[in-house]
């Protein structure tokens, strides 16, 4: 069941990102477009791993469809595919969804190790190791996108804010940062 939960989450992420890739503003920004293409491709790979695992564990397409419906309610607030959003909001939502996927993989890995399921543990750890760097890449890109979008209406923006925001984020998430040690 937990494998199908993660698979359902990955499916929703892939669908949302696929829609974002078609956005004119996303396509106009090479770095954002390339990262979203990478996220979509990596998500597809993780989905294939999870599908194979689900089938090996006896979970069929019916179980996945039920789970997609349940997980969709949780993720629906992250993505609004009908309205057009600024690119920085898309990336914010992608960051949130990928962080949720990272947590889901961590929980799946913990469960698998606890219950001595080496096959599930291997897939979960591989998924976690693939999704976590994407969270960091989105986080790194967001300041440049925010500044770029603000510069459209405010020509005097402080472009140094990109570096400052990246450094502040890296510091906050580093082992010496206040968020980690309180």
pLDDT at 63 > cutoff 60: no
- Do 33 and 27 contact (CB within 8 A), yes or no? yes
Distances (CA, A) of 133 to 57, 69, 84, 97, 136: 28, 28, 27, 13, 5
Closest CA to 12 of 73, 89, 60: 73
pLDDT category at 73 given cuts 50, 70, 90 is low
The number of distinct structural domains making up the chain is: 1
Coil, helix or strand for 6? helix
Residue 139 lies in a domain: no
Residue 54 lies in a domain: yes
DSSP track, 76-143:
TTT--SSS---HHHHHHHHHHHHHHHHHHHHHHHHHHHHTT-HHHHHHHHHHHHHHHHHHHHHHHHHH
pLDDT category at 61 given cuts 50, 70, 90 is very low
What pLDDT score does 78 carry?
A: 56
Q: Is the pTM of this model over 0.75?
A: yes
Distance CA 155, CA 151 (A): 5
What pLDDT score does 141 carry?
A: 98
Residue 114 lies in a domain: yes
pLDDT at 33 > cutoff 60: yes
Can you give the residue range of the structural domain that contains 85?
Answer: 2-132
What pLDDT score does 175 carry?
A: 82
Instruction: Considering only residues 78 and 167, tell me which one the structure prediction assigns the higher pLDDT.
Output: 167
Distance CA 161, CA 147 (A): 7
DSSP classification of residue 174: S
Residue 108 lies in a domain: yes
Residue 166 lies in a domain: no
pLDDT in tens, 95-107: 999 999 999 999 9
pLDDT in tens, 120-170: 999 999 999 999 999 999 999 999 999 999 999 999 999 999 999 999 999
Residue 171 lies in a domain: no
- Give the CATH number for residue 19: 1.20.1260
pLDDT at 90 > cutoff 80: yes
């Amino acid at each position: 069941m937990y494998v199908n939960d993660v698979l359902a989450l990955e499916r929703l992420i892939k669908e949302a990102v696929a829609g974002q890739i078609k956005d004119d503003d996303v396509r106009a920004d090479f770095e954002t477009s390339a990262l979203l293409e990478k996220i979509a491709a990596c998500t597809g790979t993780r989905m294939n791993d999870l599908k194979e695992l689900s089938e090996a564990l006896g979970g069929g397409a019916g179980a996945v469809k039920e789970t997609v419906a349940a997980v969709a309610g949780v993720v629906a607030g992250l993505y609004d595919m009908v309205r057009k959003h600024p690119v920085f909001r898309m990336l914010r939502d992608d960051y949130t969804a990928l962080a949720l996927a990272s947590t889901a993989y961590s929980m799946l890995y913990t469960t698998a190790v606890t219950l001595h399921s080496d096959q599930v543990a291997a897939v979960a750890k591989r998924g976690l190791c693939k999704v976590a760097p994407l969270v960091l890449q989105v986080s790194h890109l967001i300041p440049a996108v925010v500044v770029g979008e603000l510069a459209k209406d405010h020509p005097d923006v402080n472009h140094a804010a990109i570096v400052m925001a990246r450094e502040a984020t890296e510091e906050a998430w580093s082992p010496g940062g206040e968020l980690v040690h309180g």
